[in-house]
Amino acid sequence: MSRARRVAGAARQEEPDEDNPGDAARLCAGIVPAPGRVTVTGGSTGQVSGHAVLVAGVALLRPEEQVLEAMLAGWAGQQAARGLGGETISGRRGRVRAFAEHAGCPPWLWTAQLFEEWCADLRSVHHVAASTLRGQAGAVRLFCEYLTDPVYAWAEVCWGYFGTHPVQVCTRWNTPRHVQDGESGPERRAFTVAELQVFFDHLDDRVAVVHGSGRKGWLPAFRDAVLVKTAYAFGLRRREVSMLDLADLSANPRAPEFGRYGVCQVRYGKAGAGSAPKRRSVLTVWGWLPEILEQWITEVRPALARDGTAALWPSERGPRIGLSAIDRRFAAERDVLGLDPSLEFHSLRRSHITHLIEAGWDPLFVQQQAGHAHASTTSLYTCVSSDFRTRTLRRVLDETIGAALGTGQGPEG
């Protein structure tokens, strides 16, 4: 009989005897349920601490499964109290379930060896990225911290039901560490100016072809072309561009030449842990953008948008285009051209930053456009070309030589 099955059998013990000194002590500590009393899992006697209540006096039909669900529910409540979003909590619970399934036993039987085998399997068999592995391991570590925290008393609960208790299986020696800021694959890069021009031209040509055929698909094609160009022009992430509304575009008093499209208010920026989405304003820097936005909003969008929707990019079947649809359409058009498969939608954001730097814009301005708190983060997105580095080197050398000669010009001056 496996260890897990032996421990599961321990849950079917007789009712505790209050005359027995050992059982009496456990009853007082709230470790085992007494008839007529409610035991709150994950907490001390009579106090809600794990957000999951097991009714005393009622035998658990599936003790391992039910206690695990109570643990996960309590952990979800703890994270919600910290202000973490539902997607974050759900993702972490999924990672913990994945480890439990791989280990083949409940959390109170987990060992460091089981955790290390799981990590090795993720890396060598499933070939997950380093950042993905760290996220998987981090979820298990946080879950074990919750279970072993005396405040929640899960050790006592498990000891009462199963005769054992959970331990922390993640240590500094068996978990991946975050040793550098940028962990994206080396194949991830920005578009070159030439590649981006070819891509934009292809999107425009596709609109003309579909429109010329008389099919109604030209409306989504027009939307996709303008969406991609807008994401590049403002350096937006997928969710940031997807969640834009008409009211998020406004005039810049200091740049009247852009009309009512001088500023883009980003309301769904990347959020920090436990915080709301970060807001920022991005300024229009390229003169070609207002014209295409004006045409989209005034001429084309009304034919696609449903009544009452404020979304800048309405969908054919809903009020707003989804993230998966953005990725799917982007990849399809990229593959038609035979462009590098490593160029993804996020490459538009890298391109925005890179092309501004190459054009000589102030690095602090570029950092603020991107919404980065630190210049080091912006530098990770910068993929300047070798030609730009050569021109920069030549300019600095010419200025240095000119200053040394007292002419203020290069050697050819």
Torsion, Cα 38 39 41 47, to 10 degrees, reads 80
Q: Which residue's entry shows tokens 């399809």?
A: 332
pLDDT at position 185: 64
Catalytic residues, by residue number, are 237, 270, 346, 349, 372, 381
β-strand 263-266 against 280-283: which pairing, if any?
antiparallel
**Which 3-state string (H, E, C) describes the chain?**
CCHHHHHHHHCCCCCCCCCCHHHHHHHHHCCCCCCCCCEEECCCCCCCCCCEEECCCCCCCCHHHHHHHHHHHHHHHHHHHCCCCHHHHHHHHHHHHHHHHHHCCCHHHCCHHHHHHHHHHHHHCCCCCHHHHHHHHHHHHHHHHHHHCCCCCHHHHHHHHHCCCCCCCCCCCCCCCCCCCCCCCCCCCCCCHHHHHHHHHHHHHHHHHHHHCCCCCHHHHHHHHHHHHHHHHHCCCHHHHHCCEHHHEECCCCCHHHHHHCEEEECCCCCCCCCCCCCEEEECCCCCHHHHHHHHHHHHHHHHCCCCCCECCCCCCCCCCCHHHHHHHHHHHHHHHCCCCCCCCHHHHHHHHHHHHHCCCCHHHHHHHHCCCCHHHHHHHCCCCHHHHHHHHHHHHHHHHHHHHCCCCCCCC
State the pLDDT confidence band at 285, using cuts at 50, 70 and 90. very high
Q: Which candidate, 390, 351, 327, places its Cα nearest to that of 188?
A: 351
Q: Which candidate, 194, 193, 185, places its Cα nearest to that of 344?
A: 185
**Are 254 and 372 contacting, i.e. CB atoms less than 8 angstroms apart?**
no
- Does the reported pTM lie above 0.85? no
Distance CA 406, CA 398 (A): 12
pLDDT at position 48: 39
Residue 341 structure tokens: 């498969």
Mean pLDDT of 255-273: 92
pLDDT(23) > 60: no
Percent of the chain residues past pLDDT 70, beyond the cut:
79
pLDDT at position 169: 96
Residue 307 structure tokens: 């009544």
Mean pLDDT of 369-394: 76
pLDDT at position 238: 95
Domain-by-domain residue ranges, the chain? Answer: 3-162, 193-382, 387-413
pLDDT at position 260: 96
Distance CA 289, CA 260 (A): 11
Q: pLDDT digit string (tens) for 108-164?
A: 999 999 999 999 999 999 988 888 899 999 999 999 999 999 999 999 889 988 999
pLDDT at position 407: 58
pLDDT at position 317: 83
Q: pLDDT digit string (tens) for 391-406?
A: 677 777 788 888 888 7
CA distance readout (Å), 304 to 205, 229, 238, 296: 20, 19, 21, 10
Full strand arrangement of the beta sheet holding 263-266: 249-250, 263-266, 280-283
State the pLDDT confidence band at 187, using cuts at 50, 70 and 90. confident
pLDDT at position 324: 94
**Are 115 and 140 contacting, i.e. CB atoms less than 8 angstroms apart?**
yes
Fold classified for 193-382:
hpI Integrase; Chain A (1.10.443)
pLDDT at position 57: 58
β-strand 39-41 against 52-54: which pairing, if any?
antiparallel
β-strand 280-283 against 39-41: which pairing, if any?
unpaired
pLDDT at position 25: 37
4/107: higher pLDDT: 107
Mean pLDDT of 374-400: 74
Distance CA 48, CA 152 (A): 9
Percent of the chain residues past pLDDT 90, beyond the cut:
58
Mean pLDDT of 344-352: 95
One-letter identity of residue 125: V
Distance CA 220, CA 214 (A): 14
